A and B are shown apart, each in its own frame.
Chain A
Amino acid sequence: MSGIVLALLNSLDIGLLLFIIAVGLNIVFGVLNVINFAHGALYMFGAYIAYSCIAVLGLSFWLTLVVAPILVAALAVIIDRVMLRFIYDREVTDSLLLTFGLLLILNESVRQIWGTGIHVVEPPAGLEGSITLFSGVTYPTYSLFVMLVGLLVLVGLWYLFNHTRTGRVMRAAALDHDMAQVLCINTRLVVTGAFAFGAWLAAVGGVVAAPMRAIDPGMGDKIIIESFIVVVIGGLGNFPGTLLGAIILGLLHGFGGRYLPGIHLVLPFIGMAVVLLIKPRGLLSKGATS
């Protein structure tokens, strides 16, 4: 019994963190029509900057949680102005190529700046150790905090896109770029803003993940592949689908890691293949196939 509860908690933990990353990927796709292959690298940048802030500069975790994502968002604005603006009007293939080039640049930059070793960040005071939830089930406090952040992001995004003008403007620009421009919306600002916001979300995920995952140069690759799987399972541009996909992938990891250790690495891919066969446009798509 306690095994199942632990597996469930692990699933939620992995799933909600994954949601933060994958939803950023989806927002950028929705507004820019670009799949950002470097999204995982931005997440990794968030984690490494958090390491530098906390372990090297001695800043507090909470200050880092504010500062690091802003730095990464600023980096994203630079990337948008220097690189992406050249290919806004080109075919989708060019944007894939360019963000792939960006992935190579960011990945190697991390190796050059921080080295190839593994870095560790301690959880902040008050969140270290474990707590007993109920009889016989103890769970790391920090992992519960990660779930809380995931839920906050979920609620925050729901509020942003449904109840604020900014969110509605973003949705309008995503729905019909030209029409939004005709309605006096500064779509250039929206596009750059959405890219920076996606990067900010990735970096929030990176900072939050830093104290519980090993920080190494391969972490960005792992998370981008998982985000792709989430997005394929849930459907590109489908926000409830992203949550569902993230939870499903979390469950595959949480329970697969515990009960099927031999093959749990390929379980997400098998899940993705099954979804592609049954509902190619994602589990929550409205029936119509390609």
Chain B
Amino acid sequence: MKKFLLLVVAVLVVIGLVILPWVAPYFYIFIGIEILILGLFAVSFNLIFGYTGMLSFGHAAFFGIGAYATAMLLKWLAWPLLACLLVAIVMGVLLALIIGYLSVRLDEVYFAMLTLAFGMMVFAVVHQWRSVTNGSDGISGFQVKSLGLGIDVMLANPAVYYHVVLVIVALALAVLYLICRSSFGLILKAIQQNPERVAFCGLNIRHYRLAAFTISGGFSALAGGLMVPFLRIASPELAHWTMSAEPVLMSILGGAGYFLGPLFGAGVFVLLKTVITTYTEAWMLVLGIILSIMVMFFRRGLLGTFLDRWLEKS
């Protein structure tokens, strides 16, 4: 019965997401795009956080490199968007391989410090290397001419871009879900619960953690790439540690224990941000307070706490 109810809710949400551009004003289309992209970012972050149990404070590096790769290819080579996104994923995977190789060698404490440090290194490079990245001005003034694969759509229209984002994010989430459900995903969960025991089973924890980190980096870069046609600029802020804080908060807000928790968290996050920034400039202050309160008292997140209680009662 409860499973059926959940299914009904899920179908309704999907229908709502598909018809949104036809029923809602432009403002909500923009919010929808932001939620979808940041949701993908948060879900891929959660592969390493909620599933593998490693807290990364440097995921903006992958988001940023994906955004810059896409923006540069659009500006200088005028490639179709899908090709740019593919390169963005490859760049994210390569960067995650390097940073991950150095960061997964020790425990969670080192991992958190190292990901933040290497993340800020990427930010410093983006910010200072003016001849390539155009420094603090960022890369803008490009046009998205075509999507690729011979699909003819008007990408400049936000309603159309919303649907493009919806399809790509849905596909990416499906792949991530399959990864989480696979035996590989189960091993990651086992590592999160008891690394020593997994090691005693003869599995190399370091390899699994690195693989999870790399996959996570690739999907984060895809999210970053999708953000570029929407923002029409790739700026260093996309690689700053405050950007790394966003998927952390979304995962905590929604609940890191469920696959879609971070996506739900992204929805709450973007709506909260939209409301709060109309009242005060100090959005980061509110963010920090919410994060702290969630960690202290609602560690399972909003969706997580709800689902825990609701599913338990059966």
Which A positions have Cβ atoms within 8 angstroms of B?
29, 35, 37, 83, 86-87, 90, 92-94, 96-98, 100-109, 111-112, 221, 225, 228-229, 231-232, 236, 265-266, 269, 272-273, 276-277, 280-281, 290
B125 to chain A: which residues have CB within 8 Å?
265-266
Closest 3 CB pairs of A and B: A104-B288, A105-B288, A101-B291
B297 to chain A: which residues have CB within 8 Å?
86
**Interface majority SS (helix, strand, loop, mixed), chain A:** helix
In whole angstroms, what is the CA distance A266 to B287 when docked?
30
Q: Is the CB of A98 within 8 A of B296?
A: yes
In whole angstroms, what is the CA distance A104 to B112 when docked?
16
Given the known A-B contacts A93-B53, A108-B288, A112-B282, are A265 and B295 also in contact in the complex, defined by CB atoms under 8 Å?
A: no
Q: Is the CB of A266 within 8 A of B124?
A: yes
In whole angstroms, what is the CA distance A168 to B120 when docked?
37
In whole angstroms, what is the CA distance A31 to B245 when docked?
26
**Separation in Å of the B292 CB from the closest CB of chain A?**
4
**Separation in Å of the B116 CB from the closest CB of chain A?**
7
Q: Is the CB of A100 within 8 A of B57?
A: yes
A281 to chain B: which residues have CB within 8 Å?
106
Tell me how many residue pairs across A and B have CB atoms closer than 8 Å: 109
Q: Which residue of A lies closest to B53 (CB)?
A: A93
Number of interface residues, chain B, beta carbon within 8 A: 40
Known: A97-B252, A272-B114. 10 other contacts (CB 8 A): A87-B295, A87-B296, A97-B248, A97-B291, A97-B295, A104-B288, A108-B285, A225-B117, A265-B128, A273-B102
Q: Is the CB of B117 within 8 A of A104?
A: no
A104 to chain B: which residues have CB within 8 Å?
242, 245, 284-285, 287-288, 291
Which B positions have Cβ atoms within 8 angstroms of A?
53, 55, 57, 102, 105-110, 112-114, 116-118, 120-121, 124-125, 128, 241-242, 245, 248, 252, 281-285, 287-289, 291-292, 295-297, 299
B252 to chain A: which residues have CB within 8 Å?
97
Given the known A-B contacts A93-B53, A109-B285, A276-B102, are A100 and B110 also in contact in the complex, defined by CB atoms under 8 Å?
A: no
Checking A98, A100, A229, A266 against B245 with a beta-carbon cut-off of 8 angstroms, the contacting residue is A100
Checking A94, A272, A280 against B299 with a beta-carbon cut-off of 8 angstroms, the contacting residue is A94
Q: Is the CB of B285 within 8 A of A105?
A: yes
In whole angstroms, what is the CA distance A186 to B114 when docked?
34
Given the known A-B contacts A96-B108, A98-B295, A104-B245, are A269 and B118 also in contact in the complex, defined by CB atoms under 8 Å?
A: yes
Q: Is the CB of B109 within 8 A of A232?
A: no
**Separation in Å of the A107 CB from the closest CB of chain B?**
7
A-B contact pairs, 19 of them (CB 8 A): A29-B109, A86-B296, A93-B55, A94-B295, A96-B108, A96-B112, A97-B55, A97-B295, A100-B57, A101-B295, A102-B292, A104-B291, A112-B285, A228-B113, A232-B110, A265-B128, A269-B118, A272-B114, A276-B114
Checking B105, B116, B117, B288 against A102 with a beta-carbon cut-off of 8 angstroms, the contacting residue is B288
Given the known A-B contacts A97-B248, A100-B57, are A269 and B117 also in contact in the complex, defined by CB atoms under 8 Å?
A: yes
